């Protein structure tokens, strides 16, 4: 019976591997061998590469097995019947203990290969991967479960692979079953399960023995909304307890919400390693780029990666609300030159252009550090290159996770400017009160309307994350969550009951 584990536990190790037929060596990774800085590191990948041999047909594989030996005997130069395909090339990065790191990339970019190298289920062609701590990995969905076994049998099967005793699994079984929540299906063979049910069970088992490193490959994508929320909550709990988490996802919001950092892979190369929102922006650009623009985009992303540290959030006033000193109370709105959106996306201009989006105080001073509860204007110019009809100018405020907080349209939600002529220019200004709690936020800008003989409204120009800004507290923080509704509260103490 063949079995390939997809929930697996690995011990501290240091795998050094050579290319192709070279002997592989695996050595123990002792805590005392670690340099002090390495003690903070859960995963260190150094120049990791993985090359697959691609054969045109199965017969070529056989030829490769026989012919080179024969050719050597007759003193011919051995011929190669395959071509090399580099799924990963020269990947180096570190993950600190307790960090949550997302991996994003287009299909085939090498994400799963990287996770498998880290987990040790695949050997690198060259390079080294150090991991420190027990790893629980939720890799390719379903490939590990024995389809003939019932769910319950698989719980014990995996639990023991994870290093738990039968007795311990028995003890925590109610928790596992309650988390998986698949009812009586637990007594059915896994081959009768939907992919969502397999995921529920696999996730429940893999987190039951709290791992030091938790690696998840896209598995959560198959769960329903409610279960995904439950998984996120569990991942959050693991995070809070200091588990290092590495996961692959195509879901931008999830990466932005959960991760401290995100890596962008493309064509086997680590293109970007930075804050999740910026990584996701580069990823989105790659997904939507026509093939002929990919190389140019690669160059741009590499360049952005080099200069990323300049715009590090550490260089700007913090979002902290703890400091309620008098200096903090007197803080003024200001403009910080380097505080610019790294995630701006300019869509094509279809007859109009948004120019110079900015935030101003009511005295027309440009700012990007705003004081909560004060009034500002969000402004931009619009230039029309074509005649257009039924025009609306828009703005939208989002937080760093992409949650849409509030927006407006001019003239209004249900009105529009009937027509504009090519060459006309507008100054658009939205006055607002900054009822946001301290944090980092973004403005989108957009012009909707009709051009030519179109009868369907489209964006004539749109800029996502056009302006980035930070909000500082106006006094001590007065409200919870994102929006400050200026809530006033009162309590009346009831008379003591006799």
Ligand X SMILES: Nc1ncnc2c1ncn2[C@@H]1O[C@H](COP(=O)(O)OP(=O)(O)OP(=O)(O)O)[C@@H](O)[C@H]1O
- Residue numbers of the site for ligand X (CB under 6 A)? 52, 54, 85, 87, 105, 107-113
Whether the upstream peptide bond of residue 263 has omega within 30° of 0, thus cis, is no
Name which of 89 and 462 has its Cβ closer to ligand X. Answer: 89
Task: Provide, for the chain, the percentages of residues in helix, strand and coil under a 3-state DSSP scheme, each rounded to the nearest 5.
Answer: 30, 35, 35
Name which of 245 and 434 has its Cβ closer to ligand X. Answer: 245
- CB of residue 460 to ligand X, shortest distance in Å: 34
What letter would DSSP give residue 338? T
Nearest to 425 by CA among 383, 379, 397: 383
Name which of 249 and 343 has its Cβ closer to ligand X. Answer: 249
> Which tokens go with 10?
């690995």
Tell me how far apart the alpha carbons of residues 324 and 326 are, in angstroms, rounded to a whole number.
Answer: 7
Name which of 107 and 184 has its Cβ closer to ligand X. Answer: 107
Tell me how far apart the alpha carbons of residues 9 and 5 are, in angstroms, rounded to a whole number.
Answer: 9
Strand, coil or helix: 312: coil
- CB of residue 319 to ligand X, shortest distance in Å: 34
- CB of residue 254 to ligand X, shortest distance in Å: 15
Instruction: Report the relative pairing of strands 244-248 and 100-105 from DSSP bridges.
Output: parallel
- CB of residue 140 to ligand X, shortest distance in Å: 9
What are phi and psi for residue 172, nearest 5 degrees? -95, 5
The backbone region for 133, taken as left when phi is positive above 0, alpha when psi lies in -120 to 50, beta otherwise, is left
Name which of 142 and 446 has its Cβ closer to ligand X. Answer: 142
25-28 sheet: strands from edge to edge: 25-28, 13-16, 126-131, 41-55, 82-96
Name which of 51 and 483 has its Cβ closer to ligand X. Answer: 51
Q: Answer whether 445's CB lies under 8 Å from 408's CB.
A: no
Name which of 99 and 218 has its Cβ closer to ligand X. Answer: 218
Tell me how far apart the alpha carbons of residues 353 and 463 are, in angstroms, rounded to a whole number.
Answer: 10
- CB of residue 109 to ligand X, shortest distance in Å: 4
- For helices 195-208 and 166-180, give the axis angle rounded to 10 degrees: 140
Name which of 297 and 483 has its Cβ closer to ligand X. Answer: 297
What letter would DSSP give residue 122? S
- CB of residue 105 to ligand X, shortest distance in Å: 5
How many Å from the N-terminal Cα to the C-terminal Cα in the chain?
74
């Amino acid at each position: 019976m063949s079995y390939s584990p997809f929930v697996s536990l690995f011990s501290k190790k240091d795998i050094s591997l050579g290319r192709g037929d070279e002997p592989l060596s695996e050595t123990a990774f002792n805590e005392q061998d670690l340099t002090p800085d390495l003690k903070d590191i859960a995963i260190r990948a150094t120049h990791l590469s993985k090359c697959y041999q691609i054969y045109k047909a199965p017969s070529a594989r056989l030829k490769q097995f026989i012919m080179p030996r024969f050719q050597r005997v007759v003193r011919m130069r051995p011929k190669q019947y395959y071509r090399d395909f580099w799924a990963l090339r020269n990947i180096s990065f570190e993950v600190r203990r307790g960090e949550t790191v997302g991996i994003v990339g287009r299909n085939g970019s090498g994400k799963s290969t990287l996770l498998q190298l880290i987990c040790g289920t695949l050997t690198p062609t060259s390079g080294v991967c150090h991991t420190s701590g027990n790893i629980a990995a939720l890799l390719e969905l379903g490939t590990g479960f024995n389809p003939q076994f019932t769910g319950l049998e698989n719980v014990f099967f995996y639990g023991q692979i994870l290093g738990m005793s039968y007795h311990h699994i028995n003890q925590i079984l109610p928790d596992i079953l309650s988390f998986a929540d698949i009812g009586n299906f637990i007594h059915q063979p896994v081959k009768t399960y939907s992919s969502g049910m397999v995921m529920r069970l696999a996730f429940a088992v893999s987190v039951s023995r709290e791992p030091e490193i938790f690696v998840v490959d896209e598995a959560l994508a198959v769960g329903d909304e409610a279960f995904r929320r439950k998984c996120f909550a569990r991942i959050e709990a693991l995070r809070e307890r200091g588990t290092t988490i590495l996961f692959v996802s195509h879901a931008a919001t999830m990466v932005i919400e959960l991760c401290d950092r995100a890596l962008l892979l493309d064509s086997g190369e680590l293109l970007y390693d930075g804050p999740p929102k910026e990584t996701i922006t580069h990823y989105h650009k790659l997904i939507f780029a026509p093939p002929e623009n990919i190389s140019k985009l690669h160059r741009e992303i590499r360049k952005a990666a080099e200069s990323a540290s300049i715009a590090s959030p550490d260089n700007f006033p913090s979002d902290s609300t703890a400091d309620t000193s008098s200096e903090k109370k007197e803080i003024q709105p200001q403009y910080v030159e380097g505080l610019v959106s790294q995630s701006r996306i300019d869509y094509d201009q279809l007859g109009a252009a948004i120019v110079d989006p900015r935030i101003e105080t009511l005295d027309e001073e440009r700012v990007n550090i705003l004081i909560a509860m004060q009034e500002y204007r969000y402004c931009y110019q619009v230039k029309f290159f074509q005649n257009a009809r039924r025009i609306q100018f828009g703005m939208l405020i989002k937080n760093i996770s992409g949650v849409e907080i509030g927006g407006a349209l001019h003239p209004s939600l249900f009105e529009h400017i009937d027509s504009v002529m090519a060459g006309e220019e507008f100054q658009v200004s939205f006055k607002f009160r900054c009822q946001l709690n301290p944090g980092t936020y973004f403005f989108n800008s957009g012009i909707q309307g009709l051009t030519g003989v179109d009868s369907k409204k489209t964006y004539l120009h749109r800029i996502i994350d056009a302006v980035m800004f930070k909000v500082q507290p106006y006094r001590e923080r007065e409200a919870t969550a994102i929006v400050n509704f200026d809530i006033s509260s009162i309590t009346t103490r009831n008379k003591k009951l006799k």
